[in-house]
Amino acid sequence: MQPDSAQAAVCERIELALGDITREHVDAIVNAANNSLRGGGGVDGAIQRAGGPEIMAECRKIGHCATGEAVITGAGRLSARFVIHAVGPVWQGGGAGEELLLASCHERSLELAREHGCRTVSFPAISTGAYGYPPQLAAPIALAAAIEALTRLPLIEKVRFVFIDEELHGVYEKALARLKASA
């Protein structure tokens, strides 16, 4: 376990923002993808539309991504250099390993970002939309996973969680405040 002051410093590398993830000026944006990498609605659809067909073409070549994992492609017309396609779990009531899978897709996304020289990464609220993960449960898991990964990946300077609505932003804000208070 690392000293509390070090964890507090890691927490400062996390930002929460309202906005459109497709307009983020970061090295990589994370897509809330499905296993088939074939596009979908929500964040996935928005990223595919904004980034153009190049992203889908790369996803087709990759073909599949397991739940809890992530793969990386170029970003097409987006201002980011990369899109990291992370597959979060579908909520099944909490007894099907959802917590570990949600943490894993966040950690794996940041590991991929670092492997590709990224210093800044933006995430959506993975699994909290169509996959039904309760945001109050997802937020502390996602944030703790990001903090854990950042302790091992000091060259990643900033991780942003970007939300389209204020309610979801508020849930993550409260969870981050609790994590900071316990640091």
Positions annotated as catalytic residues are 44
Whether 145 and 159 have beta carbons less than 8 Å apart is answered as: no
Q: Where are the beta strands (DSSP E) in 56-153?
A: 70-74, 82-86, 120-123
87 neighbors 33 (Cβ within 8 angstroms): yes
Residue 156 DSSP one-character state: -
- H helix or E strand, kind and range, residue 29: strand 28-32
**CA dist., res. 168 & res. 164, Å (int):** 8
* Gap between the Cα atoms of 108 and 15, Å rounded: 19
Q: Which of 177, 146, 176 is nearest to 159 (CA)?
A: 146
DSSP 176: H
